[in-house]
Amino acid sequence: MKLSDEEVGRILDTVTSVVSKTLGLFSNEQGWYGRTGGYLCVADPSGGDPILRARILEPPEENWKKHFDLSGEKALRVGQTRGSVSSYETRDPHFRSSENLWGRYGGAIWTPQAILAFSGLPELGDEAAMLVSAYELGYLTTGNLEHTRLAGKIIRKSNNPHFARLAYQFPWSRIEPH
């Protein structure tokens, strides 16, 4: 899977906008202090191989390696776990290995087009930002029943408290009844 320069720019602009709105909404809540950005990994949905890695906004320099590594680990874990739709499903904060010094956390989601993973916000903030980014990028759409089921499954697995509030900041989430 290869991304065009135009698609890379679109992904980076979208994720930057979503993470910025996420920080604006939740930065005064417990656990969000000092969060100023993080690291994105976009990966192939059929195996989790990274195809784009990027720093988003201004994450603290002292944590760059941790969050860079975690975003890639989350994406790879989703891609290599059959039937997985989110890294929260295989979360294990106590896991340690020579390649993983920080544990396994949520924050990556699977879509048919790509796995989107982020690290730098609180764990469920990472997940909510990636789920909203998937909608903003058109990887998930509100009019598609399968996409709605996929998003519902991701949200139910983690009982994500941030998604609805964040999603409401975007026009696609406010479909008016006729």
For residue 176, what pLDDT is reported? 47
For residue 173, what pLDDT is reported? 76
Residue type, 10: R
For residue 1, what pLDDT is reported? 77
What are the domain boundaries of the chain? 5-173
In the predicted model, residues of the chain with pLDDT beneath 70 are 174-178
Asked if 117 contacts 39 with a C-beta cutoff of 8 angstroms, the reply is: no
Q: 32-54 pLDDT, tens per residue?
A: 999 999 999 999 999 999 999 99
Neighbours of 17 (CB within 10 A): 15
For residue 172, what pLDDT is reported? 80
CATH number assigned to the domain covering 5-173: 3.30.450.150
3-state helix, strand, coil in the chain (%, to 5): 45, 15, 40
For residue 174, what pLDDT is reported? 64
Within the chain, residue ranges assigned H as helices are 5-26, 64-80, 123-137, 145-158, 163-167
